[in-house]
Amino acid sequence: MPGEMEEREGIEYICKLIYEAYRVPVMWLDAADTPRLTLPPAFECRPSVQGAHSLLHEVMDIARRSSPAATAAGKAARTTAPPYLHTTGFLENFIILQLPEADRAGGAIVIGPVLSAPVTGDNAASLMRDYSIPPGEQEGWLQYYRSLPVLSRMRWYHAALLLYTLATGEALSITELLLAAGKSGQSGPQPDDGPDLDLSYRRENTLLHHDPMLEREMFRHIRNGDKAGLLRTQAAFSEESYGRLSKKSQLRSKKNLAVSSITLATRAAIEGGLFWEIAYTLSDFHIQHIEELHDIPAVDRAQLAALCDFADQVLGSRSSKLSRISALCQNYIYNHLYEEIPLSRLAEFTGLNASYLSQLFKQETGTAISDYIRQERIEEAKRLMELPGITLSDIASRLHFNDQSYFTKVFKKYTGLTPGQYKQDSERFSRFT
C-alpha cells in the first residue's frame, strides 16, 4: 500500500542519514525482529564467546525488552519512548529506538556497535582475563575492536537525540535522555536490602585522571543538589581520559574509579549540607553494591546512579531551612538514636543554654526536641522492620522505649497503625512489588 511504502522509505531515509552523518553501523529491525536494512551491508563480526549468544541475538533481545510495553513509564509524557542506551559487557555501545506504534512498518532502529574510546592491547588483555577468554584469541578481539568506530560519549548522546527527533519530530534533551536511561532497567540489579546503618566499608582514596575543572564542576552540582547539571557535566567526560587503576583487570579499574568518585561525592554532599552520617552510610551502600557487580557497564550505571543519589539527597536536605544550631541538633539525634539523648547533652553539644535551645528548635521546626526524637525513632523502627531477623521487642529495646506497650502506643500515634499491623502491611506490599 502507498502509505506503508512511504513509511518504509521514511525509515530507510532516517537510517541512511544517521549512517552518513556518523559513519556508524545502523540497522532497521521490523516488528518480527527481522533485519530489513543494514548499513554498511557487512562489517567485522564480534568473535564468538563460549556460552554467549551472538551479538545480533543480544541486540534483538534488548530491542524486545525495550519495547513500548516495557517502557510505558517513559511514554507517559511522549508519543514515543526515548532511545534505549545499551552497553555490552565487551564495551560495545548501542542505541535502540522503538518506532511509534502508529507506524505500520513497526520495529526498531538500532545504531551500533560503537566504542566510546579505543580499546588498546593492554585494555583488551585485561578484558579478556575478566571474561576468561584464552590468550590465543586476543588478536582476533583486537582486530574486531580496531574495526569499530569510536564516538565520544557526548557525540553518542547527540546521535541518540538526532535519531529521536528524525523519527518523531519531537525535541529531547540530554538530561531527559539520561534520566530515561536510568529508569529503563539500565541501573542494574539492586541489593535485596537497603543500607544497613551498622555496616561500614573501607574506601580507597585514589585520583581520577581527567580535567580537574570538569571534576570540580561535577561535584559542585552535587553540593548544590543539581542532578540535571550533574548529568550534563558527566556526559562531557571522555572515556579515554580516565586513569587506569588496575593493571590486571579492566573491571577492577572501573570499580576503583567508581569508588573514588563516590568518595569525593560523599565529601561534596556533606559540604552541601547533607548529614555526614547519612552521606557516609549512602557511600557504604553504593560501594558495597558496586563491589558485587560483574561487568563494566553495570559498574558505570551504578556509579552514575550513586552520584545522582547524592545530588537528590542534598536537594532533599535543603528543603528544610534551619539554622546551623537546629541542623546540628538533628544530625546529633540521627547519629545517636540508639542512645539516651537528654536535652542537657544537646545543650552541651551546641554550647547553648538548654531552655534557649529548646525554644529555638521548636520555633524553627515546629516540633519540641523530645517529640522530634520520638518521631525519628519511629522512622528508624520502620526501617528496622524491613530487615530480616529483628523482632518488635528487639526494636523497642534498642530504640529505648520503656516497654512494648509504650512502643506500640507511640508507634500508633505517629503512623496510625500498631507495629504488628505496619510490619504485616510492609510484608504484603513487598510480595506484590
CATH number at residue 409: 1.10.10.60
Domain final residue pick, 298, 318, 338: 318
Question: Residue 199: inside a domain, yes or no?
Answer: no
Q: Which of the listed residues 318, 350, 370 is the one where a domain comes to its end?
A: 318
pLDDT tens track for 245-284: 566 678 888 888 888 889 889 988 888 878 777 788 888 8
- The last residue of one of the domains, among 283, 298, 318, is 318
Q: What is the pLDDT of residues 108-150, one digit of tens each?
A: 899 989 998 888 777 777 788 887 888 788 888 888 888 899 9
Q: What are the pLDDT digits (tens) for 39-77?
A: 998 766 788 765 555 677 777 676 666 554 444 444 444
Residue where the block lists cell 522505649? 401
Q: Is the pLDDT of residue 3 over 80?
A: no
Closest residue by Cα to residue 11 from 119, 104, 143, 147: 104
Residue 198 has pLDDT above 80, yes or no: no
Task: Tell whether 351 and 388 lie within a shared domain.
Answer: yes
In the prediction, which pLDDT does 119 show?
Answer: 82
pLDDT per residue over 348-394, tens digit each?
988 889 999 999 999 888 899 999 999 999 999 998 888 878 889 99
* pLDDT category of residue 224 using cuts at 50, 70 and 90: confident
C-alpha distances in Å from residue 97, one per residue of 68, 82, 85, 116, 282: 10, 7, 9, 19, 34
387 vs 287 pLDDT, higher one: 287
Burial class of 379 by CB neighbour count within 10 A (0 to 12, 13 to 18, 19+) = middle
Q: Are residues 280 and 312 in the same domain?
A: yes
Neighbours of 400 (CB within 10 A): 14
Same domain, 107 and 233: no
Residues 26 and 173 in one domain: yes
What pLDDT does 191 receive?
42
**216 and 242 part of one domain:** yes
Same domain, 243 and 369: no
Is 71 a member of any domain?
Answer: yes
Q: Is 87's pLDDT higher than 50?
A: yes
Q: Is residue 201 part of a domain?
A: no
Enclosing domain of residue 390: 324-431
Predicted confidence at residue 183, as pLDDT, reads 58
Mean residue pLDDT of the chain comes to: 79
* Antiparallel, parallel or unpaired: β 35-39 and 84-87: unpaired
Q: Which tops the pLDDT comparison, 210 or 368?
A: 368
Question: Residue for cell digits 546551623?
Answer: 324
Are residues 23 and 164 both part of a single domain? yes
pLDDT value for 188: 40
Q: Is 202 among the domain residues? A: no
Indicate if 28 and 177 belong to the same structural domain: yes
> What is the predicted pLDDT for the residue at 344?
93
Q: How many domains does the chain have?
A: 3
Asked if residue 106 and residue 10 are part of one domain, the reply reads yes
Select the more confidently predicted residue: 22 or 239: 22
pLDDT of residue 15: 92
Q: 221 and 274 share a domain?
A: yes
Q: Indicate if 347 and 333 belong to the same structural domain.
A: yes
Whether residue 367 sits in one domain with residue 336: yes
Residue 238 has pLDDT above 50, yes or no: yes
